[in-house]
Amino acid sequence: MPKESLTITDNRTGKQYELPVSNGAIRAMDLRQIKSGPDDFGLLAYDPGFFNTAACNSKITYIDGDKGILEYRGYPIEQLAERSTFLEVAWLLINGELPNKKQLDAWVTDVTMHTMVHENIKKFLEGFRYDAHPMGILAGTVSALSTFYPDAADIFNSRSREIQICRLIAKMPTLSAMSYRHSVGMPYALPDNQLSYTENFLNMLWKVTEVTYKPNPILAKALDMLFILHADHEQNCSTTAMRCVGSSQVDPFSAVAAAAVALHGPLHGGANEAVLKMLAQIGSKENVPAFIKEVKSGKDLLMGFGHRVYKNYDPRATIIKRMAEQVFDVTGRNPLLDIALELERIALQDDYFVSRKLYPNVDFYSGLIYQAMGFPPSMFTVLFAIPRTAGWVAQWLELLEDKEQKIARPRQIYLGPKRRDYVPAERRA
Ligand code: CMC
């Protein structure tokens, strides 16, 4: 039986150390004993971008990036996308198991009953400029919710956590719709409790003067499926922000605001907005080879391609690509689709992309669907943030219940100047 340990020889001192290996990892703190002398702090692991550092144990989401596998709590994403609903998946992520019928009904009712926001949120929204980015508005208003619910600071009270989680899942669509309507100068639409989660979101976005808004069931179902696909993705940038900020024991509204801000970046959730800009800039299929050449020369990135974890087709992209046809049957075909298909075709034959294992990720096709549904690109990241809130809060709960977790505080390798004395301005060279 091989030993579950690692033997390290420090060639600076000739000393040997045996470090236990558990679940395929050594503990970084075990490196601290490896010192070259009495003044040595101990060996650190240097890992910018956390390429090879596990910061937690988790039982929520499993990804095999080489095989293109994604599972929530063990359930394959393909099965959940086809057979579940977003609210059921949110429950699964948060509680660890699929709900029974009674639990599901109660959860759906609870979320439906918490969709309203305090009237003062409207006044708060008035302060944003007419052209404010909806993600900025969303992050600002979700953070402001912590001031409306001071009980949210009681994070070690499990009942309080349940209430805040329900509020977050319920109110994110409301805040998102309000941020959109603010940016187009439309009055805010009230939630409609007769509708499903995504139907109600469409109602709050698009309702004009009709007494009851009737969402298109195919579009509502497609959005629900997109929400399932975006609900969690283990330790990505925004989830890491959620865990880092949450580790300071701040309330969950503030931590979700931090995660939302991290999601906004073009290398993360902002990528689908960037994909649409890229496709519009390319303009036609004929211009694709020239654009690919630019990418290969390092002048541009092929947005919506590549992933830190997936070194194969992103399974979410496969599902979204298939779904696109159903949506386009209702909305009409997005003319940018042909450019996207041509980009994918050429890239997947090109050694630059093949050798680097760069495949379409979740953002490559999602923007095309959102645009065909009538969303402006500035709303795309908002559409990511709503379902990802389920993942963020599930990861936050796991963090709080993990006895090993401490406030996040990485080390650094200081390479700056050695101690030196202050010189008054007139005597400086
Ligand atoms: N276009 C062209 N070259 C790329 C791309 C791309 N989209 N992505 C990676 N590369 C190249 C990169 O230049 C590097 O080449 P070299 O080895 O010659 O220096 C190599 O591939 C490895 O890339 P990396 O930047 O070291 O990989 P990473 O794991 O740090 O980056 C990524 C992952 C997603 C940030 C990156 O692939 C990227 O910038 N993609 C475009 C933005 C995007 O689509 N983001 C959405 C990610 S999925 C949704 C989400 O998680 O939010």
Q: Which residues line ligand 1 (CB under 6 A)?
A: 236, 267-269, 271, 295, 301-308, 356, 358, 361-363
Burial 166-183 (b: 16+ CB within 10 A, else e): bbbbbbbbbbbbbbbbbb
pLDDT at 281: 94
Which residue's CA is the nearest one to ligand 1's atom 30?
Answer: 308
Domain architecture of the chain: domains with CATH: 1-45 (no CATH), 59-405 (1.10.580.10)
The CB density around residue 393, as the number of other CB atoms within 10 Å, is 26
Rounded mean pLDDT of the chain?
Answer: 95
Return all residues near 31 (Cβ < 8 A) that are at least 6 apart. 19, 42, 43, 44, 45
The whole-number average pLDDT for the span 200-216 is 95
DSSP state letter for 428: -
Assess whether pLDDT exceeds 90 at residue 273. Answer: no
Dmax over CA atoms of the chain, in Å, equals 80
Q: Identify the pLDDT of residue 1.
A: 76
Number of H helices, E strands in the chain: 17, 5
Lookup: tokens for 276: 């649409």
Nearest C-alpha to atom 24 of ligand 1 is from which residue? Answer: 308
Cα gap 220→198, rounded to integer Å: 6
Residues recorded for the chain: 429
CA distance 280 to 291: 12
Mean pLDDT of 260-287: 92
What is the three-state SS of 268-302?
CCCHHHHHHHHHHHHCCHHHHHHHHHHHHCCCCCC
Helices 380-401, 252-263: crossing angle, 10 deg rounding? 130
Check: CB of residue 406 under 8 Å from CB of residue 246. no
Sign of CA dihedral 11, 12, 17, 23: negative
- According to the model, what pLDDT value does residue 421 have? 97
Which residue has the CA at smallest separation from atom 40 of ligand 1?
Answer: 306
Active-site residue, 307 included: yes
Percent of the chain clearing pLDDT 90 (strictly above): 91
CA atoms within 13 A on the CB side of 301: 16
Give dist(CA 215, CA 197) in Å, integer: 11
**Atom from ligand 1 closest to the CA of residue 356:** 21
Ligand 1, atom 35, lies closest to the CA of 267
Span 316-334, pLDDT tens digits: 999 998 898 889 999 998 8
Whether the predicted pLDDT of 142 surpasses 90: yes
Give me the pLDDT at residue 278, please: 95
Two structure tokens written together for 317: 């992209």
Ligand 1 centroid, distance to 386 Cα (angstroms):
24
* pLDDT tens per residue across span 32-91: 999 999 999 999 999 999 999 999 999 999 999 999 999 999 999 999 999 999 999 999
d(CA 181, CA 251): 28
* pLDDT at 225 > cutoff 90: yes
**Residue type (1 letter), 270:** G
- Residue 130 clears pLDDT 90, i.e. is over it: no
**In terms of Cα–Cα distance, which of 313, 296, 320, 319 is closest to 360?**
313
Pocket of ligand 1, candidates 268, 279, 307: which has the most ligand atoms within 8 Å of its Cβ, to mutate?
307
Buried b (16+ CB within 10 A) or exposed e, 187-198: ebbebbeebbbb
Q: What is the mean pLDDT of residues 280-286?
A: 95
CA 303–ligand 1 middle distance (angstroms)? 8
The structure's pTM equals 0.93
At 313 the pLDDT is: 87
pLDDT mean over 354-365:
93
Contacts of 333 (CB under 8 A, 6+ apart): 372
Q: Whose CA is nearest to atom 44 of ligand 1?
A: 304
Q: In angstroms, how far is the first alpha carbon of the chain from the final one? A: 67
Q: Which of 154, 268, 300, 338 is catalytic?
A: 268
What average pLDDT does this structure show over 81-110?
Answer: 98
Ligand 1 atom nearest to CA at 236: 51
Q: What is the mean pLDDT of residues 234-244?
A: 98
Are the C-beta atoms of residues 307 and 357 closer than 8 Å to each other? no
Mean pLDDT value across residues 347-365 = 94
Q: What is the distance between the alpha carbons of residues 319 and 106, in angstroms, rounded to a whole number?
A: 30
Rounded (10°) angle between helices 197-206 and 158-183: 30
Q: Which of 133, 233, 264, 307 is catalytic?
A: 307
Is 268 an annotated catalytic residue? yes
DSSP three-state, residue 215: coil
Indicate the top mutation candidate among 238, 308, 362 to test ligand 1's pocket, ranked by most ligand atoms within 8 A of CB: 308
Q: With bands split at pLDDT 50, 70 and 90, how would you rate the model's confidence at 349? A: very high
Helix (H, G, I), strand (E, B) or coil at 61: strand
Beta strand segments in 86-237, E? none
* Strands 15-20 vs 5-10: parallel, antiparallel or unpaired: antiparallel
Mutate to test the pocket of ligand 1, among 278, 361, 362 (most ligand atoms within 8 A of CB): 361
Residue that the structure tokens 């390798």 belong to: 413
Q: Which structure tokens are listed for 161?
A: 């956590």
Q: For residue 275, which atom of ligand 1 is closest to its CA?
A: 44
Q: How many CB atoms lie within 10 A of CB 394?
A: 28
- Compute the half-sphere exposure of residue 154: CA atoms within 13 Å on the CB side of its CA: 11
What pLDDT shows up at residue 270? 84
pLDDT band at 124 (very low <50, low <70, confident <90, very high): confident
Backbone dihedral angles phi then psi of residue 44, each to the nearest 5 degrees = -110, 160
